[in-house]
Structure 1
Amino acid sequence: MNLLHRLRDRIAGRVQEHEAREVRSRTGAHGTPIADVEDRRPAEVCGVVRNLTHPPSTGGPLELVVELYDGSGTLDVVWLGRRSIPGIRPGTTLRVRGRMSRRRGVRTIFNPDYEILPT
């Protein structure tokens, strides 16, 4: 790897570390870090919405999938039967409460109680 690639990787790493610290400082007082949440246990986590998706329905229920990031990790928050929720969009800070599970190897909470937090 040449010097330019190493420099680029180092800068990218610092940007990611800074972003993670910033998100943790905004959300750290609320709930458990995503990286520490245990499978099949009730959890309360807080993070920033990174993206929203609406997977195509193949005969199954409609669903809204939100990727939540807290600086320690990510998890999917899934609302079945929903296509949107007013106020939830990328950049929104959310607190969610529900049972942690895994879907296709990804940490997931289905149909949680949620609260939109001020930024």
Structure 2
Amino acid sequence: MTAGAGYLKRLTRRLTEDLEQADAEKISEQSQATGAQRACDCSRGEEVSMLGELRSVQTCSKATKTGVVAEFFDGTDVVVLKWIGRNRIPGIEPGRKITVRGRLGEKDGAKVIYNPYYELLGDD
């Protein structure tokens, strides 16, 4: 195979592959490069440290006081992050890259971390 044919094959793959899959691979590669744990490898009860991106964030009204709920994705699996008793957290917004630490739990079949420690990461 020539170098030109290899380039054409890579270009074709990039143009035709699912963008969501490509995004997941990019996030997963960044996470692995930092030594963070992969969400798909973590199980209930473990103390975890992961790097990923917030896909969605829901804030509560002052009346309900249920907290801030975010969907965290590290390229391998989704983890729900719940900050109880907060109605807003500056910097916690969709599309933001963060690292999270906490004890992984499970609720209704979904992975969840309550009141995780977090660090906001800059845009790359």
TM-score tier, shorter chain, comes to: 0.7 to 0.9
Aligned to 1:89: 93
Q: How many corresponding residue pairs?
A: 108
State the match for 2:59 in structure 1.
54
- Whether the aligned pair in 1 keeps the contact of 2:68 and 2:88 (CA below 8 Å) is yes
Counterpart residue type for residue 89 of structure 2 = I
Match of 2:38 among 33, 36, 61: 33
Q: Does 1:99 align with 2:103?
A: yes
For 2:69 and 2:86, the matched residues in 1 are separated by: 9
Percent identity reads 26
| Residue aligned with 2:76, SS | coil
Aligned to 2:77: 73
TM-score, length-scaled by structure 2:
0.76
Is 2:26 aligned against 1:22? yes
Bigger Rg, which one: 2
Question: Is the deviation greater in 64-73 or in 13-22?
Answer: 13-22
Cα pair 2:62 2:87 within 8 Å, conserved = no
Quote the Cα distance in structure 2 between the aligned partners of 1:79 and 1:105.
Answer: 19
Q: TM-score, normalised by structure 1?
A: 0.79
User: Deviation above 6 Å: which 4+ runs of structure 1?
Assistant: 56-59
- Candidates 22, 41, 48, aligned match of 1:43: 48
Mapped to 1, the partners of 2:29 and 2:90 lie a distance apart of 25
1:35 CA drift (Å): 0.5
Deviation at 1:30, TM superposition (A): 4.4
In 2, Cα distance between equivalents of 1:53 and 1:24:
24
CA distance 1:40–1:113, shift in 2 (3 Å): same
Question: Structure 1 residues 18 and 84 mapped into 2: Cα distance closer, same or farther (>3 Å)?
Answer: same
Kept in 2: contact 1:50–1:68 (CA 8 A): yes
Q: Between Structure 1 and Structure 2, which shows a larger proportion of strand residues?
A: 1
State the shift of 1:58 in Å. Answer: 9.0
Tell me, which stretches of 5 or more residues in structure 2 are unaligned?
1-14
